[in-house]
Amino acid sequence: MRMRGLGDAFYGWYLVAGLFFATLIVIGVRQGFGVFVVAWEEDFGATTTAVSFAAAIGWVINGVSQPFMGALTDNFGARRVLIFGMLGMAISTLLVAASTNPFLLAVTYGFLVSVFSGAISFTPIGALIARWFVRNRGRAMSFLTAGGSASGLVMIPFLAYFLDATTWQTVWIVLGLLILALGLPVMIFIVRSRPEDMGLLPDGDKESVNDEGGPAPKIEVKTAPLAVDRWQSSFNSAPMWQLSLAFVVCGITTASISVHYVRWATDEGITAQTAATAFGLLSAINAAGVLFVGTISDRMQRKTLLGIVYLIRGVAFLSLIFLPGAGALWAFAIVGGMSWLATVPLTTALTADVYGVKKLGTLSGFIFMAHQLGGGAAVILFGWIFDTWNSYDPAFAIGAITLLAAGIISLSIREKRYSVRYSPVEGAPESAARSAAVGGGSD
């Protein structure tokens, strides 16, 4: 019989707690870009489009890095990748403070911060959590994703008020030191790549025994219909394309808001601090929504929830067009909060259900690359639309239309045909389902 972890608790939950904290800091750095747009415009003497270009480069570079970080995770383990990423992000965040024009900002933030944050993204973290949890996979991933929501609740208002009290250079120096002093130790002392590294089984299960107390015979089970040993094979099936196309839209809508939400609010006569507070409310609502969605996704089809999430976010984008400034601000925070990061645990868990975990890091990398590329294009497009028409309304209309398409695409996924959760297995249902979900022993 194997140990469960520290005391009576499964160590995987300690892992989730540590990664929750690290995610809160890292996503705060990524989402906080929008807080500084006006300050950089004034300091650099640049347009919204020029400053947005640095963010767009960042989303693209981060996206391109995702498959590579996923492959490194599959081959060398998540712990090494996460330590490398956290150390590099601390140093590159400090370097952002030395930027003196949009070009240097594109180098420090657009390239360096974005590459290293790719090593601490949901690509390696999602693959890590999928190895530690099977039955509770959706719930574990939702708790971790809630760290991103908590980041918006805590970090964005903090950055806005801190910026109001000091300079943007000081804010980025403090961010770098926080990552170095708090984020890096979490990766070094808490993260372990696999439960087997600690003599544990996924979900904290105990080793099966027979009536005489010895090991029970191994149960032969069927794997997921689309489980892959080579990541290239996944592109021969529809779910990979459906998940990726929908996630492009997720990137378009989250990236554009993270960069342009505060800028839109100031153009509507709303202070940056108020806009940041509204984004904090959005994040608080999303934290609760993510936990709810992640938990119930272990009991119903994930694709149904995914489609609903995209459609709800579409309604939020419409509110930015049809409601007046302050009303739109708070309506978006409430309605958008119901859907903001809920796509992440659903998409990652569904990918694992369909394709197994053996190449999950690489597969998630390609899906998140689609997300980031969509986001990069949207950031620069939304900035150009605002500079050209002095209004974000056409951009928000694009967001609403693409979200409708993403909802339809997600609902069309044939989950009951392709997910291991609905695949017939032989033997004891619970242990068989657990073995199948991790790739039928090959993982």
What CATH number is associated with residue 269?
1.20.1250.20
Mean predicted lDDT score pLDDT of the chain = 84
Give a yes or no: residue 380 inside a domain.
Answer: yes
Q: What is the spatial distance between Cα 423 and Cα 353, in angstroms, rounded to a whole number?
A: 10
Give a yes or no: residue 3 inside a domain.
Answer: no
What the block records as the tokens of 407 is 């909802």
Give a yes or no: residue 211 inside a domain.
Answer: no
pLDDT of residue 224: 64
- 90: alpha, beta or left? (left if phi > 0; alpha if psi -120 to 50): alpha
Give a yes or no: residue 1 inside a domain.
Answer: no
Give a yes or no: residue 210 inside a domain.
Answer: no
CB atoms within 10 A of CB 416: 11
Give a yes or no: residue 125 inside a domain.
Answer: yes
Per DSSP, 248 falls in state H
Give a yes or no: residue 76 inside a domain.
Answer: yes
Task: Compute mean pLDDT per 10 residues along the chain, 443 residues long, and list them.
Answer: 55 90 81 85 88 85 90 91 94 94 93 91 87 85 79 81 92 93 91 88 68 45 71 91 96 88 88 84 84 84 94 96 91 89 88 87 91 88 91 95 97 92 55 38 33
Q: What is the spatial distance between Cα 275 and Cα 269, in angstroms, rounded to a whole number?
A: 10
Structural domain count, the chain: 1
Structural domain of 397: 11-205+221-435
Give a yes or no: residue 416 inside a domain.
Answer: yes
Query: Burial, 154: exposed, middle or buried (Cβ in 10 Å; 0-12, 13-18, 19+)?
Result: middle
